[in-house]
Amino acid sequence: MRANAVVRLLAAAVPQGAATLSPDEIIERVERSGLRGRGGAGFPLAQKLRAARANAAGGDAFVIANAYDADPDSPLSRTLLERNAETVLAGVVLAARAVGARRAFLYLRPDAPAQESWSSSRDGLSIEVVRGTGGFMGGEETALLAVLESKRAMARQRPPYPAAQGLGLRPTVVAS
């Protein structure tokens, strides 16, 4: 999928004026848009949001924008961030609002360029840029959780899925 097609999907899922949407409305719009993960399985983002929100039940939750691009010859996430980072970051803010997260991460390859403005606080959400350790497995969703927990980048057996027990055993939405 081309980067501009992803931007159009994000814009359709969450249009202007989205700041007034409730968590349920955000999830409903994401579901209607058909937005899916780009990590290979094509898992519906709305299902991850709904599961993390239910599992958080008012407690801490996290959102991770997985922009790792395991194949350096196919830099879709990098291209999307270079061309339209504000749309990606707005999507992170909305995903966080949908699940009640106060902290989010933008997860990149170790050699990926990043802008200082990507690490910020937006609408009460702290967004931190984190660089993976390298290697093909570095972008697998449970391996990146291990990196964020200062562990070796190894995939975990599932279940439980990150939306139930992710970062620090808290509900976590990992979206690519």
| Proportion of the chain above pLDDT 90, given as a percent | 56
Quote the tokens at residue 69.
Answer: 């691009």
Helix, strand, coil percentages (3-state) for the chain, rounded to 5, are 45, 15, 40
CATH number, residue 153: 3.40.50.11540
- Omega before residue 162 within 30° of 0, cis: no
Q: Is the per-residue pLDDT at 42 higher than 90?
A: no
Answer with the residue of higher pLDDT: 19 or 130. Answer: 130
pTM over 0.85: yes
Q: How far apart are CA 44 and CA 88, in angstroms?
A: 17
Quote the tokens at residue 48.
Answer: 């991850």
- Tens-digit pLDDT profile for residues 54-104: 999 878 999 999 999 877 778 888 888 889 888 899 999 999 999 999 999
Domain limits for position 65: 3-175
Quote the tokens at residue 55.
Answer: 């599992």
Answer with the residue of higher pLDDT: 139 or 103. Answer: 103
pLDDT score at 1: 45
**20-24, 135-139, 151-155: which range is least confident on average?**
135-139
Using an 8 Å Cβ cutoff, are 152 and 146 in contact?
yes
Q: Looking at the chain, how many residues does it have?
A: 176
| Proportion of the chain above pLDDT 70, given as a percent | 90
Residues 6+ apart with CB under 8 A from 54: none
pLDDT confidence tier of residue 171, bands split at 50, 70 and 90: very high
From start to end of the chain, where are the E strands?
62-67, 103-108, 120-122, 125-131, 172-175
pLDDT score at 145: 96
DSSP state of 16: T
pLDDT score at 15: 54
pLDDT score at 116: 75
Count of domains for the chain: 1
Tell which residue, 59, 67, 35, 46, has the closest CA to residue 138.
67
Q: Is the per-residue pLDDT at 7 higher than 60?
A: no
Helix (H, G, I), strand (E, B) or coil at 121: strand
